[in-house]
Structure 1
Amino acid sequence: MPVDFTAIDFETANSSGASACSVGLVKVRDGRVVDRMHRYIRPPFPHDEFSEWNIRIHGITPEMVADAPGWDVHLPMLREFAGSDVLVAHNAGFDMGVIAKTTAAFGLDVPDFRSLCSLQVARRTYHLDSYRLPVAAMAAGFEGFSHHDALADAEACAAIIVHAAKRHEADDLERLAHVTRVQFGAIGPVATRDQRTAHGPMALQ
């Protein structure tokens, strides 16, 4: 199987994981970027207050998302864009948490996605003083991007995974995860199934 995945990055309005205000998506097929998407998101009440700290980080203001659709509109677009891809993100636990928490805030079913963390892959691939996205991306030959722009960050994340796969001579994400000893994450029904497999029926009683 080729190196296929969808890279994802969220920006949030505040410290709440349910306050997604921007998402960037990058589809990779056979190690090459073939599609990109960026959308602003109107965070759901009561997670819609924008903190000054977050605005300073990503530059997104309440006015910029005032007329944007909510996550109930964006979730089907995410499903269509990513399909059955593994979602790759830098600090994937955060971004997968945003999907799960924002989805729950809308009273919707959490989607079924597996994930791989480019931060953890970078730690097992490069020898760096820092593994922050700009530094790890530079090690992968991707630099000069606008950090905390969701689409640019997703592109940087994709570049890390593609470069790491080449460096480890891994021809798909399963092999890359195995070589780097990074476990896949999961949300939605697949996460429940994985927990049952890992812990057995007694652990759920």
Structure 2
Amino acid sequence: MDFIAFDFETANHEKHSACSVALTFVKNNQITNEYYTLIKPETPFFWRNIQVHGIKEEDVALAPYFPEVWYHLKDYFTENQLIVAHNMNFDKSILAGCLDYYGMPAPHYKTLCTVQSSRKLLPASSNHRLNTVCDYLNIPFENHHHALADSNACAKILLHLEEQFGEQALKPFIKSI
């Protein structure tokens, strides 16, 4: 399988408040590359979000704003590219919110949500949170809510599901936007 797993962390509940993003690139069922950056959001940080991911306003003081980050990422979000996230609705909404906030066009790409696929294919898991699914599949996972750790975990979950159930079992979860 070839795909890109991605994950955002946010400063607050605003859809344009991305404060970090990571991509994990998979080619022929192997993780081949990673990308991670902090992002300086044009919105304040909420204490609750800081408690979740540990990113503070001073951490992003010199980070690029989203348009600069998107300049480096946009070519990966293409019509034929499969983009994967654990809770795709969240990450897709953050991407859309940032693009909208900066008046940038939305890309069209294929998606697969590992929450949805793990719910269907791993019904015995106690829940389908990222860390729980990793535990269930014996995937080592540290630093939960760090965007790069989360995108890597997501990629490993999909690779495990493909190995265990086959690519055909995953096709119903692929959507185009």
Is the TM-score greater than 0.5?
yes
* Structure 2 partner of 1:184: 175
Where does the alignment leave 5 or more consecutive residues of structure 2 unmatched?
none
1:81-92 → structure 2 map (5 Å cutoff): 81=76, 84-92=80-88
1:71-110 → structure 2 map (5 Å cutoff): 71-81=66-76, 84-110=80-106
SS of residue paired to 1:57: helix
1:157 equivalent among 130, 154, 158 = 154
The alpha carbon displacement at 1:168 in A equals 0.8
Runs of 4+ in 1 over 4 A off after TM superposition: 81-84
* Structure 1 partner of 2:107: 111
The reply to whether residue 130 of structure 1 matches residue 127 of structure 2 is yes
* Structure 2 partner of 1:142: 139
Kept in 2: contact 1:11–1:148 (CA 8 A): yes
1-structure distance, mates of 2:89, 2:176: 8
1-structure distance, mates of 2:35, 2:77: 11
* Structure 1 partner of 2:165: 168
CA gap of 1:183–1:81, structure 2 versus 1, over 3 A, is: closer
The code of the aligned residue for 1:177 comes to L
Kept in 2: contact 1:13–1:50 (CA 8 A): yes
Where does the alignment leave 5 or more consecutive residues of structure 1 unmatched?
187-205
The alpha carbon displacement at 1:17 in A equals 1.5
The code of the aligned residue for 1:114 comes to K
CA RMSD of aligned residues (A): 1.5
Report % sequence identity: 32
- Structure (1 or 2) with the larger CA radius of gyration: 1
SS of residue paired to 2:132: helix
1:7 equivalent among 5, 22, 41 = 5
